[in-house]
Structures are given as C-alpha cells and as structure tokens.
Structure 1
Amino acid sequence: MSRSPSPLDIAYGLLEEGRLIDAEQLLVRELGKAERGYGHGSPQWASAQGDLGNLLFSSGQVDRAVDCYRSACSYPPAGDREAYKDHLTYRLNLGTVLTMAGRLDQAEDELRRNVQERRDFYGREHPGYAYALEPLADVLLRRGDVGQARQIVEEAVGTFWRSGHERVATALALRAEIIVVSGGGEPAFADLEHLPDGIVEQIALTVMNRAGQDPSTGKAVLTSLVAALEERLGPDHQATLNALSQLANTGHDIGDEAGRVWAIEKVLASYDRQGRAEDALMATLGLAMAHEDAGDTAAALRTFENAWARADRIGRHELRAQVLRNWGLALSASGRTDEAERRLRDAVAEADRGHDHEMLGRSRIALGLFLQHEERLAEARQVVEAGLATLDVAHPDAITGRSHLGAIVQGRACGCGDVQGTIAEAFREFVITRLPADLLEDLDVTVEDGEFAIQVRLRRKPDPAEIEHMNRLIESANAEFRGRLTSRR
C-alpha cells in the first residue's frame, strides 16, 4: 500500500508547479502546528524546521535555509536514539548549505563537529560516519587543501565500498574532481568496470550536478566522464548522452563554442541512430544556437532549416512554432528581414493552431520585437500586448516583452526599454498581489548594484503574523527573480 504524501511531498509538488509561496506557507503552518502540539525545541518542531529548510534550500533561499537548520539542530535530544539520528542529519544539512553559501569557515567547523558526533555515535566503519566525511572533503577542496580533501574522501570511499553502500557513487564523483584538480595525470574514473550500472549512473549524475560550481574544472571532469561512460555503458546510453549535454552547457559557460558544437553533434548522432525524433529535433535546435553563438551564421541557418524539416515530419504545431520562432530570430539577426518576418508570423500561426498558450505568447513577443526594430510601432505594440496576455508575469519572455513595450509606448524602435526596471515591476506585482489589499499603501522596488532594494509603505499597522508573512513573501520573490537580473535570451 502506498503511503499518503507528507506535507514536504506536497510542498515540493507545489514548488515544481511554480507555486513557491504556497509551498512555503504550507510548511510554515506545519511548523506552527508542531510548536503548538509538541513544544518549541521538541523533535517534532526540529523536524518541521528541517523540512522548511529543505524547501528554502531547494528554492535558492540559502541564508534562510541556514537559519532553519541552525534552529533544527539547536536542541540535541537526549535519550532518544532515532531523534538523535535526525539531529545529526540537521547538523550535516547545516554544514552542507553553509558550503553552498560560500561560508566555508563556518561550514568546516560544523562538518568537523558532525564528523566527531557521527564517529562517537556510529563508529568509524559505519556508513553513517562516512556521510559527514564526504561534504568535509568538499569544503577542503573548495578551500584549496587538495591533499587533505583526497585523504578524507578516500576514507569515505573505502567505508562506503566495504559496506556495499550506494553512497559510494557520490564519494567517487567527488574523488574524481579532486584527482582532476590535483593535476597528476591519474585516471579520474578508474573503477567503473567494477560497479553496477545504477552506481555508475549516479556517479555521472553527481558529476553533472557539480559541474557548474567551477566550470573550468567541471569541463575537465566531464570530458573524462564522457570517455569513461562511452567505454563502460556505450555511446547511446542515456547517462552518456546526459553527460555530453552537460559538457555542451559547460562549454557555453566558459566560451568554448567549438567544444559545445562537438558535444551536441555527438548527442544528435546518437538520437538519430536510436530513432528518437523529438529528442533529435531539440538537439538540432541546440546545435543551431551553438553555431550562432560561435559566429557561424551560415551553419546556424542550415541547421535551422534541418530542424524545420524534422519538426514538419513530426507534425506537432508547438514544435513547428518553436523552430520557426528561433529560426526567425536568427534570420533577423543576420539581416534577412523579409524571411525573418515570414518565419515569425508562421510561428504565431502554428502556436495558435496548437493551442499552446506559452509558445503562442513567446512567438508573439518575438514577432513584436522584430516589428519594433523595423519601426512598425503601432503593430508591434498590439502584438506584444497580445503576447503578454498569455504569459505569466514572471516568465522571462514576459519580462523582455514588458521592457520592450515601454520603449514602444515611448515611440522608440530601439533601446528596448529598462529591463531591470521591468523585472523590478514584475517583482512588485508578484508580492503585492499576494498580500491583503488593505495592508500596503505602496511597494517600491528598484535594482541597485544587481540587488533588489525594497521600500514598503503601510496603510495600517500589521499584526505579527502579517509581518512574518510579508517578510517571507519578499524573500521568496527575491529567490524567484534574482536570476532574471542576469538572464539572457
């Protein structure tokens, strides 16, 4: 019999739907229930703090997650072995999140404390002890102490290996990164032939998750991983393809567009071998944009034409619209305006026929911006406004459309408006529509030095619960919109 979903399960479901505020409020209510029912500092209260910390960390609110984990582990339970295990988990989470926040001194202190607590509780040969060794090795690597990081991760690998614990995968992934950073030419993935497929796949997933922390190192580790996966699992295995896709993304991050093209071409060839038409189409679109970013306009346009043929064979309107939109933008950038306009208008028509509201909005925004740059401002305004009507206020294309709409209204064909101001206005709308109508007189949001500056003017004195709700809401809006300040098309 399947279990009923926990409040944390439901909260993560809401988060996946983009309903961060609802998810957070659910767990805040659970925290209040635990405090009323069991008392401040109780194991149940600590568990609720830990759940809230997990959600905040998952939504990018790292500092608030740290506060929750500190609260969760601030009352070590006495005489309850299971509750103490949970306490050790909260301490481990605290150290890990401090690491992610870049607060490495504090992270090392917490993790060394957790290592000692776990050694006393479990003993040196137990996987529960090794759980804290791995993040401690990660902190030491980040601090540049590669030698001690290697020593500690080897102890973790040995403990997990001897106990047959699946966590050996993440420890081996970290060891591979340490080996690459050491620079001695030692193979980073020497033990894959002795491991089950599932463990090899988990190693690959861990490497991919870590690749963005230091893209240059990430590229070197991913390159080694791809070669090892091709030999161990084969060139058409999904783990190999996922690693190649991550290698392409990392290449883009560090400006290695040639490497990005190479990786995508390998993925595309595999999808074609397997007859995976839709996946091959998405890879083809990625290849076209990689050629475009590399400055090879001719190759980009040839690849978009290839993508259109693939989308036409599949026959789905939203896929056709996506190809036509991107193709039209590339044609516009290359100065082929007549062809660009035809493709962009066709994209709108295809999206409309497919009843895909998001793709319709994105296609309209793209067409509207094209018309703006062609100085056809009245038509541009009409098309952009229609596009905004079908997109969520926080959608990146909606933010782009609103910033351009401001320029259109002012009669400007270029300049494209104040993107940061538009993001700030979207931030304001996100917050103000989720607060009681009689509470705020105004909410002023601006961007200063890449961060949101907020001034709140109240109509009346809020009660403590309203203050807490408003503060959480503003923090959540920060998490929702911070990445938009530096995002690109």
Structure 2
Amino acid sequence: MSQFYKSHDKLGKAEKMYMRALQGREKTLGPDHTSTLTTVHNLGNLYQSQDKLGEAEQMYIRALQGYEKALGPDHMSTLNTVHNLGSLYQSQDKLGKAEQMYMRALQGREKTLGPDHTSTLNTVHNLGSLYQSQGKLREAKQMYIRALQGEEKALGPDHTSTLTTVHNLGNLYQSQDKLGEAEQMYIRALQGYEKSLGPDHTSTLTTVHNLGNLYQSQDKLGEAEQMYIRALQGYEKALGPDHTSTLNTVHNLGSLYQSQGKLNEAEQIYMRALQGYEKALGPDHTSTLDTVHNLGSLYKSQGKLGEAEQMYMRALQGREKTLSPDHTSTLTTVHNLGNLYQSQGKLNEAEQIYMRALQGYEKALGPDHTSTLDTVHNLGNLYKSQGKLNEAEQMYIRALQGYEKALGPDHTSTLNTVHNLGSLLSILGQTRRG
C-alpha cells in the first residue's frame, strides 16, 4: 500500500503506511531484521522524494548499519543503500561524500554482480551525473558512455534505461555548449521514448521539455515555445495542472517569455508557477525558491529594483535554510544580489556579496568551474567601475584563462571577457602613458 500511494504521489498516505509497517515489524521481528530494515530503507526513499533530506539520511544510515551487521558490507541490500546515500548526498550538494558512496557501491557491485550488470551500470550512470554537477565534464562523459554501451548491450538501444542515459548525454552536451550533439541525443531519446512508451508518457514529455530548453539556448524561440506548449499540454493531461512537472514547464515558459521581452506574460506565468509550487511543495521548497529567484531577475529587468531585492532576499533566506549557505543554488542568488547591488550603485555591498559567492564557488565547485569564473568576471567589472583597474585586470585575466580552458576560445563567455579586458587595457594604456 505504501508503494502504491508513493507511485501515485500520495506521499502523506505512503508515509503513514510505511510507519505502520515499521512499527509492526519492529515489534514482531525486531529492529534489526532485514524486513524491518527494508521498510527503514524505503522510508529513506520516501523522505528523499519529499525533500526531507535530514530524515532521509537518518533512515539510510540506520538501514546501512543494520544491513552491514546482518548481511555484510557487500550484500546487494547493503550496496543499494550505499548507492541511495550517494544520491542523497548529491542532492544535498555534499559532492565529496556522494562520490565516496558511489565509488563504494560501484566497487561492490562490480565484485558481486559484475561490471556489466544493470545495477552496476546504474551506479556508473549516477557517477556521470555527479561528475557533471562537479563540472568534471570529461569524467562525466566517460561514465555516461560506459553506461550507454553497457545498457545497449545488456538491454538494447531502445530500453528506457538506455534512453535515459542518451537523454542525460544530451544534458551533458548542452552544458558543454555542444548544441548539435545535444540535439542529436535528445532527438534519439525522444524517438525511442515515443516508440517504447508513447507520445504522452512523462519520460517522453520530459525530453520534449528539455528540447524546449535546448532550443531556447539556441535562440530558436519559436521552436522552444512549441516544445514547451506540447510538454505543458501533455503534463496537464497526464498529471494535472498542479503537478510539479507541469509547473516546471510553466516556470520555463515564463523564462522563455522573459527572454522574448514579453515581461507581462512572463510575470503571469511565473506567478502561476509560484502559486502552484507554494500549494504543492510549500514556500521553502527549492522549486518554489527557484521561481522566487527568477521573479527577482524579471523585476530587475523591468527596473523594479526594490521588488527584485525582495525576491532575491526571500530566495536567499529560503535557500540558506533549505539547502545551506554554501549550496550552489544559494550562491547563485548571492551572485545575482551582487549584480543587483552593482546596478543600484551600491558598490561596496556588491563587492562583499561577490566575494562571498566567489569563496563559496571555489569551495563547492573549484576555481575553474564556469560559475566561479562568472563571479570572477563580474568582480572585474565591479573593480573597473570602482576605478581599481589593476585588480580588474587580474580578475579578467583569471576569468579569461579559465574560460579558454573550460569552454574554448570561441565561447561567448570567453569572448565577452576578451572584449572587457581589451577595453580595460586601453584605459590602462592611456593611464600609464599619462
């Protein structure tokens, strides 16, 4: 019954059933019986899906300790919990711990099940996802390619697990700005899902939605809108108007309208998404806060700087509470607050905010991640506007070297920094000659 309720998004009822099962099994079988531990583990899964990450971690740790004692460190049940702990730590942005868990699960599954077992490949796939979130894009690609080749061999080219890896390779290529390769992957995944699952299955619609994201990044705004509208209509039919997947598409339609300069339509769409998220997930859920953050960006582009600051502050406080002060999403809001303060002429406040973002990104993602480099570049802009030309030069040079390494010499971020550095050097040359 718990699993039935969970599969139908009735998470409160699922939790009640799991708790009843847990209490009964603890009483009848004992707290360390494997059946009891299975319920504990499944409660961890449920809490993770509810974004109750602290409670999920407690359940997984209890299950892991129990399985290790009862079954040993290399039993499949133990390794399943290790793997899920890796997934939890990844969602908490504890990327070092996540990697440790995934590596333990991978080594254990390779030993117990073999390198080409589907469970092993699942961990390989998740390692690819982890490396992608760390900005280790080459390592991520290696993991995805290994997972894809194994899944094609074990399951076939049109199996849903294979198609999921194809889809995620599309995500990776998009993050590398390899938009042609990304589109090929998405189209393959879409055609496969349509064949295997049908045009209105949620996996199909997710790929449609992500194609919308891709077309938006390519500035193919008409095609993007078509994809979003198809995804939205499909989600509304399959899941309802207030489901989170529906609301995600609503949110991204808002982003599209914002990029088209349709700011009133964007605001209406964001408000629908925000109200839906607040009802479905609560005011402090990450999806709610993402929309709050984007409303801040919209208000800034409308010149409503007071409203923008209110949205950014709400997003910041919520993300600090829900995710931690050093989570990358929190740091994104910190960074954008810096942008806002700079546009308001509050240069000292902007510098403090940028420094917080920079230190956080360096710790969480490394000194050469593109998010780190974006902050470095914006610090260069700030120093230039403050007349600190030498400090600005240092920032631009660091950003340029990083962008060339991470994105290549012809990426727009690289070229923007080249342009700004050239402008600065022209000023410095005049100053030094003077």
Give me the TM-score of the superposition, normalised by structure 1: 0.45
1:405 aligns with 2:379: yes
- Aligned-residue offset at 1:370: 0.8
- What is residue 283 of structure 2 aligned with on the other side? 316
How far does residue 419 in structure 1 lie from its aligned partner after superposition?
Answer: 6.8
Q: CA, structure 1 residues 407+13, in 2 after alignment: closer, same or farther (shift >3 Å)?
A: same
Seen in structure 2, the aligned counterparts of structure 1 residues 245 and 373 have a Cα distance that, compared at 3 Å, is: same
Aligned residues of 1:450 and 1:485 also touching (Cα < 8 A) = no
1:297 — aligned with what? 263
Q: Tell me what 1:451 maps to.
A: 405
Counterpart amino acid of 2:351? R
- Counterpart of 1:381 in structure 2 is 351
- CA deviation string 1:156-210 (max 9, x = no partner): xxxxxxxxx8633x1xx5xxxxxxxxxxxxxxxxxxxxxxxxx4x3464355356
- Name 1:339's counterpart in structure 2: 307
Distance across 1 between alignment mates of 2:268 and 2:211? 23
Alignment RMSD: 5.3
The alpha carbon displacement at 1:367 in A equals 1.5
Counterpart mapping for 1:66-465 below 5 A: 167-168=155-156, 170=157, 173=158, 199=159, 201-202=160-161, 204-205=163-164, 207-209=166-168, 211=170, 212=173, 214-215=181-182, 217-218=184-185, 221=188, 224-225=191-192, 228=195, 232-233=197-198, 235=200, 237-273=201-237, 274-275=239-240, 277-314=243-280, 315-318=282-285, 319-352=287-320, 354=322, 356-357=324-325, 358=327, 359-388=329-358, 392-394=363-365, 397-409=371-383, 411-412=385-386, 421-422=397-398, 446-447=401-402, 450-451=404-405
- Give the C-alpha shift of residue 377 in structure 1: 0.7
Q: 1:301 to 1:342 in 2, by over 3 A?
A: same
CA contact (8 A) 1:423 1:485 kept: no
Residue 287 of structure 1, CA deviation: 1.7
Paired amino acid for 1:370: L
Shifted more, 333-342 versus 369-378: the winner is: 333-342
Question: In structure 2, what is the Cα distance between the partners aligned to 1:322 and 1:419?
Answer: 29
Output the amino acid matched with 2:214.
T
Aligned partners of 2:302, 2:140: CA distance in 1, in Å? Answer: 46
Per-residue deviation, 1:327? 1.2
Letter in 1 for 2:378: H
Tell me the secondary structure at the aligned position of residue 95 of structure 2: coil
Cα gap change, 1:219 to 1:400, in 2 (>3 Å): closer
Q: Distance in 2 between matches of 1:487 and 1:252?
A: 21
Work out the CA distance in 2 between the residues paired with 1:360 and 1:387: 9
CA 1:205 to 1:333, structure 2 compared with 1: closer, same or farther past 3 Å? same
- Residue 18 of structure 2 is matched in structure 1 by none
SS of the aligned residue for 1:291 comes to helix
Cα distance in 2, alignment partners of residues 233 and 409 from structure 1: 54
Question: Residue type matched to 1:18 in 2?
Answer: L
Alignment-mate amino acid for residue 95 of structure 2: G
> 1:1-12, aligned counterparts within 5 Å?
2-3=75-76, 5=79
Question: What percentage of residue pairs aligned between the two structures are identical?
Answer: 13
Displacement of 1:254 after TM fit? 4.0
**Quick one: distance in 2 between partners of 1:217 and 1:337?**
41
Distance in 1 (CA, whole Å) between partners of 2:99 and 2:162 is 34
After superposition, the C-alpha distances for 1:225-278 in whole angstroms (9 at most, x for unaligned) are: 56546xx5462x322222222322332354322222222233334444424533
Shift of the 12–304 alpha-carbon distance from structure 1 to 2, 3 Å rule, reads closer
Residue 472 of structure 1 aligns with which residue? none
Q: Is the 8 A contact 1:281 1:307 kept in 2?
A: yes
Does structure 2 conserve the Cα–Cα contact (< 8 Å) formed by 1:420 and 1:485? no
Give the unaligned 5+ runs of structure 1.
31-50, 67-92, 101-130, 136-164, 174-198, 425-445, 453-477
Contact 1:361 1:389 in 2 (8 A): no
CA deviation after TM superposition for structure 1 residue 372, in Å: 0.4
The letter of the residue matching 1:368 is G
Shift of 1:311: 3.2
1:376 offset after TM fit, Å?
1.4
Distance 2:195 2:137 in 1: 36
Gap runs ≥5 in structure 2: 1-70, 108-120, 174-179, 417-434
Letter in 1 for 2:382: I
SS in 2 for 1:214: helix
- Kindly provide the amino acid, as one letter, of the partner of residue 363 in structure 1: T
